Structure formats: structure tokens, C-alpha cells
Structure 1
Amino acid sequence: MSSQILHLQLTPMQLPNAIQTSAMGKGADDFSQTAFSTQNVVRAGCDLVVHPPEPSEIVLQLENLGSRMLRLNVRVEGNFPAEWCRIGMEGYELAPRSRMDAVLYFQVPASFFENPALGNGQSLVLDYHSRIHVHYTEEGTGRQLVETAGLNLYIRPRSLYQQFLPALYREVDFIGRFLKIFEQAFEPSVQTLDVLWAYLDPMTAPQTLLPFLAHWVAWPIDRRWTLERQRYLIRSAVELYRWRGTRRGLRLYIHLYTDLPLDEHITREADKHICIEEIRGEGFILGNTRLGEDAMIGGGRPYHFIVRLRPQRSDQVDEQLVRHIIEQEKPAFCTYELYVE
């Protein structure tokens, strides 16, 4: 790739473990047509392996061997989409007896191997070939010349299983593509086992798994709850069961729904955002009650409590849903009053 005026040199920034070679046997070629189709042809030029969606780079070194200033224009022509390649240059003029580097950035979309546009009988093309054209004009003489260099682009999936092979086998392109089939079949199950705890935690589990987790703790799914609230309730189901029928259990349930603070640091019940006051009294007892001072005729109801909520926003509390919660949590013989302030 040398000339009397302009010299080109291509250097890939990533050294490939394996590339397609013309020495591939017939059996390997037959298999490649069913797995990942590659053209069993090697063309002269620089080789670059790209793993979608990881970026890869090639440095194009330009050296002016002449005695005049050169104005440059770099183009890449190949059988791959133009948006895969970007060109970065330090400038467009190259002084005599000097060098300049241009960088070719290649990046293939992450969905490359899931291309839905293939028809029946078609296979995915993995090997691409292109030419780099450097057009330059010699200052003073006006001569317009061009220098070219070959570039072979190989699209390969990143394989984890190749790391377990000896270096000798990692250099064989067919083995890497062959192992990728088994990796795609087994690796999702391995990854699921690695993060199994996340599937069993209602806060991180997929939405489709929530009904199973709710059934696991015997918690009914209510469509009136948002997805976020359902996760909180399923996670706290066992604790709610433990405190069902108590002031603490009711306060916790309302807290999980409304996100009002529990105010455990506040001693006085009337000052809390979720205030639950029980109506206590000894009733009318002769000899121990002063009528008009600490007793009244037709006095309070036994087993009665009052719930007062102090929301921070007007839309923070659905009164009908809160009543449903209280009816579900309170003992059957209790009565209550609800005030949303």
C-alpha cells in the first residue's frame, strides 16, 4: 500500500482471536451455512473483527513522501451499511515529509443477530469486504490522485465459552461459532440461577411472577393497587398477618398504601400522620362515677376506634380503599370512624 507520494498503513486496535480462513474444510463450511453463514473467501487487506454492539477501531496512518502539501479526502466503500462506520481525522491537509492518523470507528447494532428481515432459506452474512479510498490533491501542480487499501470486516458474536479453550482452539473461527450455539441455549438458564434471589424478591421480580409470589404467601391480588404497591404488600404480607387485628398492623397497612410516615418517633398519638385512637372508658359504674364530670348518659361505644389521616397531597388517599383496608384488618366486633384531614 505504498506510493511515491502517499503511503497508507492500517492498524486494527483490537487483535482478533480468530478470523475466517481459506483453509476451512468442507464439513465446517457446510455447518457454517446453517449456523452463521460466512463467505469462504479471504481478500487481501486489513482484518477487523467486530462484536455487536461493542465498538472497534482501525487507525489509518497517512504519510506524505513528497515535497508538496496534500489535501486529503477519505472515503470507505463496502457492502455493509454506511452507518456502521465513522471517520475521524486530525485535519484535511498533510505537510511534506509528515504523518497524520485517521481513525475509522466501527459499531454494529446490538440487534444484528436477531435480524427479522431474512426470508426462508436466507442466511445471515457475517463477512464484509470494503476498500478505503484516499483522494488527495497535490498543492501547486493540482494533480488529483487516489490511494486505496483493503479492509475485511468480520461480524462475530462474543463467546464466553471460548475462554475455556486452549489458545490453539481459540484461533479457529468455526469452533467459536459452533460453541456460540450451545452458549445461546444454556447461558440464559445459568444467568437465571446466578440471580435467582432477584426472582424471589417481590421488589425485583418480573411482573409476570408476582401472582406466583402472592400465592406463595396467600396474599390476594387486588387490581385496584398499583404495581408498586402490590410489590410492597406482597413483601410485607407475613408481617401484616402477624399484626392483623392490632393498631400496629393497621397503621403498617395504611402506610404501605398511602406512603404516609409511620411517625414511630412521635409519642403522642394525636400528632401522627396516621392517627388511630381507641375510645376507652369504664362505662357507668355506681359509686365510682360523677355524673356530668367523668360520665354521661348514653355514653361511648365499646370496641370503637377513630382513624385520622393527614395526607401531604390531596390525591394521596383514596377514602374508599382505606375503608376497605380497615374493614379487612379490624376485628369483626369493632366499629370505627374515618376522617381524612
Structure 2
Amino acid sequence: MVQSRLTSNPNVKINLIPMQIPEALPGVALAFTGAESFDVAGHNLLLHPGQASEMIVQVKNLTEDALKLTFRVEGNFPQEWCQIGTEGSEILPREEMQAVLYFLIPATFFEDRQAILPGKQDRLNLNFRCSVHLYLNPGTDQEKIETSDEFNICIRPWSLYMEFLPLLYREVDFIGRFMNIFEQAYQPAIDSFNVMWANLDSLTAPQAFLPFLAHWVGWEFDSVQEIPQQRRLIRRAIELYRWRGTRKGLRLYLHLYTGLDLDEDIPNEDDKQISITEPSGNSFTLNEAELGNAVLGGGQAYHFVVKLRYPKRQASGLSQQPNTIHEPLIRRIIEQEKPAFCTYELFIESSDNNRFFS
């Protein structure tokens, strides 16, 4: 939709093209609101608080001479709401140029008491009038001012609920504002419900919610461990219960606590960052007869060795170790996860090949 204004002897033709038109025109529902009449003729530019909107101004030179020009927007609205962008300051004979009016109102418009009209029962003004003033050859004897028709700026809250109404109801401005009341009341609860899954995942839940999630899966929330470790352990608590008392369960627990790799692709257990081995010799064999799993020369039944190895330092000298290992806590984890009749040895090997054991 385009509108223009021509004087009796115009030098230019001004067309206005709004980039965002309100679906519901002001003045349609005056019978419900009791508001004063509002001229719905002409163009209306829709503005949402905090969102930019544009009005395109097309200017055509109707003379045979080049014209220098400047733009100014005037109306009953704060001037800081509007910024003007132009393609230049001169228009050639019979040529056209465009300017863009960028409108942006504060996101807190509806909460700002300065937008209340004084002396009008504290009514919030949502409709403003403005026009474009074009100064031709400013500062010369041939200076002339051309003015466009007035257009309306309609400020409306953005409402998703209007999309659920038939088109007939969207055309009533009062219904749009009325629906926005329900949207502001119910939408926060709907948004909270849509992200409820994040509150039930220990990796994304708020820290204050972690004790509840731990209690939900029967996990002891330990303040000694760091929060990222607690999140990983709570998330895989059921899996740890399933494998408790086994090598796989112990390795998984140590992996979640220390951050060391499981190294499932490494066949040799001794080469893994978390290795759990059972020291024993070969079975005693006489010719082709084998005596079960008897061990000659010593050995300890139901005994295993746990070795934790930090990755080697990088060439830059930075350590790749994911967490600082707390040896007493490692011992407590092993005591908790191993069968009661088993004994163990613990070796912690740093990136400098220094071994500490208990």
C-alpha cells in the first residue's frame, strides 16, 4: 500500500510504504473501549516494544533540476524513537531516491509511567501521528518544504495468542489487547512446563534442585565432590546400581568421578587410564591335566589392583588431567563398590610417572 501527497505545484512526489501493518486497525472497537475517535484513513505502522519497524519513504524529483534535500520527521512522539537513513543528499532530475525511517521504542514501554497521558484518566497513549518534512535546497533562496500526508504509529504488545483466533477477531484491536492479558498471565507457566525436562536432567537442572534428583534415584548427595561430578553420577546412578560389585561398575564410577577415559578400544587392561586387574599366575599343569585355578608360589584370593593414570602432558607443557584425584575419596568409592570379601591395592600414576599407592 502506497500513499502520496501532491501540492498545487509540487517539486517532488512523496510515497510512504509501511513495512509492518497492524492486523487490527485502531478505532474498530471504540464501542467497547469508549476511546476517542481515531482516524483510520491512510497508513498505519505497527510497533512492538523492543522490536524495530521501518517506514520506506520514496521521493521522486518532478523538476528538471537537481535538488538537494534533507529529511525530518515530526509528530507527537519522542524524537529518539526514530532514526533516518538516506541514500544521499541530492536527487537528480526525474529520478527517485529512498529513505528509511527506523522506529524503535523501549522494551519497557508498557511499564514506563512517562507514556501515560496526563489529565486523561491515566490512559496509556498507544497511537501517535507523524509526517515527513522534506527540505529542498536548504540554506538557499530556493528553499522549499514539502510535507507528506500524516501516518499513524500504532504501538501494540506482541501476542502469540492472536494466532489461535479466527481472522474476524484479529481485526478488532481491543480483542488483541484483551488477549494479551491472558498471555502474560498464563504464558510463564506454559514456558516453565515446556522446559520442565531440563529440570529433571541432572546435567541441566539448577544446582538447588540436585538434592531432590539425588533423593529421587536413591543417590547420596555428597558435598565433598564437585558439582559437575555430582551431576554425572546422579544421571547414571541407576546404571551404577545395575553393575555394582563388578569391574565394569567400578570402572564406570571412577570414570564419572575422575573424568579419566574408559579406553574401551584398548585391549590391554594395563594400558588403560583406569585399569582393574587380578594378579594371578598360570594354572598348574601336569602333561595335559590341569588343576583348576590353583596358583603356585603365593597369590591372594579375591584380590585386585586398581591403577589410575593421568594422560601424558602435551608438548605445550599443559596437563591433560581432567580432575584432581582425591585419594581418600577414591578409596571410599572402591570400598563402596567392591564385594565385601575382596581386597585391593590402589596405584595413582601422575603424568610425570610418579607413583603413589595405598
Q: TM-score range by the shorter chain?
A: 0.7 to 0.9
User: Equivalent residues in 2 for 1:270-281 (5 A)?
Assistant: 270-280=270-280
Tell me the SS of whatever aligns to 2:72: strand
Deviation at 1:114? 5.3
1:43 and 1:174, CA in 2 relative to 1: closer, same or farther beyond 3 A? Answer: closer
Deviation at 1:5? 1.2
Tell me the SS of whatever aligns to 2:244: coil
Larger mean CA deviation between 188-197 and 63-72 belongs to 188-197
1:250 and 1:81, CA in 2 relative to 1: closer, same or farther beyond 3 A? Answer: farther
* 1:28 and 2:37 matched: no
Tell me the SS of whatever aligns to 2:220: coil
Deviation at 1:336? 3.0
Deviation at 1:20? 2.3
CA contact (8 A) 1:76 1:130 kept: yes
Larger mean CA deviation between 233-242 and 302-311 belongs to 302-311
1:126 and 1:245, CA in 2 relative to 1: closer, same or farther beyond 3 A? Answer: farther
Tell me the SS of whatever aligns to 2:345: strand
Q: Which residue of 2 aligns with 1:2?
A: 6
CA contact (8 A) 1:22 1:40 kept: no
Deviation at 1:270? 0.1
Q: Which whole-Å CA distance do the structure 2 matches of 1:164 and 1:40 have between them?
A: 28
Which among 319, 322, 330 is matched to residue 326 of structure 2? 319
Deviation at 1:95? 1.1
Q: Which whole-Å CA distance do the structure 1 matches of 2:91 and 2:102 have between them?
A: 21
Q: Which residue of 2 aligns with 1:144?
A: 143
Deviation at 1:180? 0.9
CA contact (8 A) 1:279 1:303 kept: no
Q: Which residue of 2 aligns with 1:252?
A: 252
* 1:310 and 2:341 matched: no
User: Equivalent residues in 2 for 1:122-133 (5 A)?
Assistant: 125-133=125-133
Tell me the SS of whatever aligns to 1:260: coil
Q: Which whole-Å CA distance do the structure 2 matches of 1:338 and 1:82 have between them?
A: 73
User: Equivalent residues in 2 for 1:30-109 (5 A)?
Assistant: 41-42=38-39, 46-78=43-75, 80=77, 82=79, 84-109=81-106
Kindly report the root-mean-square deviation, in angstroms, between the aligned alpha carbons of the 2 structures: 3.5
Q: Which whole-Å CA distance do the structure 2 matches of 1:185 and 1:22 have between them?
A: 25
Q: What TM-score, normalized to structure 1?
A: 0.78
CA contact (8 A) 2:28 2:172 kept: no
Identity of aligned residues (%): 48
1:22 and 1:248, CA in 2 relative to 1: closer, same or farther beyond 3 A? Answer: closer
CA contact (8 A) 1:18 1:171 kept: yes
User: Equivalent residues in 2 for 1:226-237 (5 A)?
Assistant: 226-237=226-237
Tell me the SS of whatever aligns to 1:305: strand
1:189 and 1:60, CA in 2 relative to 1: closer, same or farther beyond 3 A? Answer: same
Deviation at 1:269? 0.7
Q: Count matched residues.
A: 320
Deviation at 1:231? 2.6
CA contact (8 A) 1:11 1:59 kept: yes
* 1:17 and 2:23 matched: yes
CA contact (8 A) 2:202 2:231 kept: yes
Question: Could you tell me which amino acid in structure 2 is paired with residue 98 of structure 1?
Answer: E
Query: After superposition, what is the alpha-carbon deviation per residue over 1:182-222, rounded to whole angstroms, capped at 9, x for unaligned?
Result: 12222333344445444433334444433322221122333
Q: What TM-score, normalized to structure 2?
A: 0.75
1:22 and 1:164, CA in 2 relative to 1: closer, same or farther beyond 3 A? Answer: closer
CA contact (8 A) 2:115 2:125 kept: no
Query: After superposition, what is the alpha-carbon deviation per residue over 1:50-92, rounded to whole angstroms, capped at 9, x for unaligned?
Result: 2244432211111212222111222334555555433222221
Q: Which residue of 2 aligns with 1:34?
A: none
CA contact (8 A) 2:28 2:173 kept: no
Larger mean CA deviation between 157-166 and 105-114 belongs to 105-114
CA contact (8 A) 1:132 1:151 kept: no
Deviation at 1:243? 1.4
1:322 and 1:113, CA in 2 relative to 1: closer, same or farther beyond 3 A? Answer: farther
1:243 and 1:122, CA in 2 relative to 1: closer, same or farther beyond 3 A? Answer: farther
Question: Could you tell me which amino acid in structure 2 is paired with residue 182 of structure 1?
Answer: F
CA contact (8 A) 2:29 2:172 kept: no
Query: After superposition, what is the alpha-carbon deviation per residue over 1:169-190, rounded to whole angstroms, capped at 9, x for unaligned?
Result: 2111111000111122223333
Deviation at 1:268? 1.2
Question: Could you tell me which amino acid in structure 2 is paired with residue 126 of structure 1?
Answer: L
1:173 and 1:199, CA in 2 relative to 1: closer, same or farther beyond 3 A? Answer: same
Q: Which residue of 1 aligns with 2:180?
A: 180
1:42 and 1:247, CA in 2 relative to 1: closer, same or farther beyond 3 A? Answer: same
**RCO greater where, 1 or 2, for CA within 8 Å and sep 6 or more?**
1
Question: Could you tell me which amino acid in structure 1 is paired with residue 334 of structure 2?
Answer: I
Tell me the SS of whatever aligns to 1:309: strand
CA contact (8 A) 1:276 1:306 kept: yes
Deviation at 1:156? 1.3
Q: Which whole-Å CA distance do the structure 2 matches of 1:59 and 1:274 have between them?
A: 67
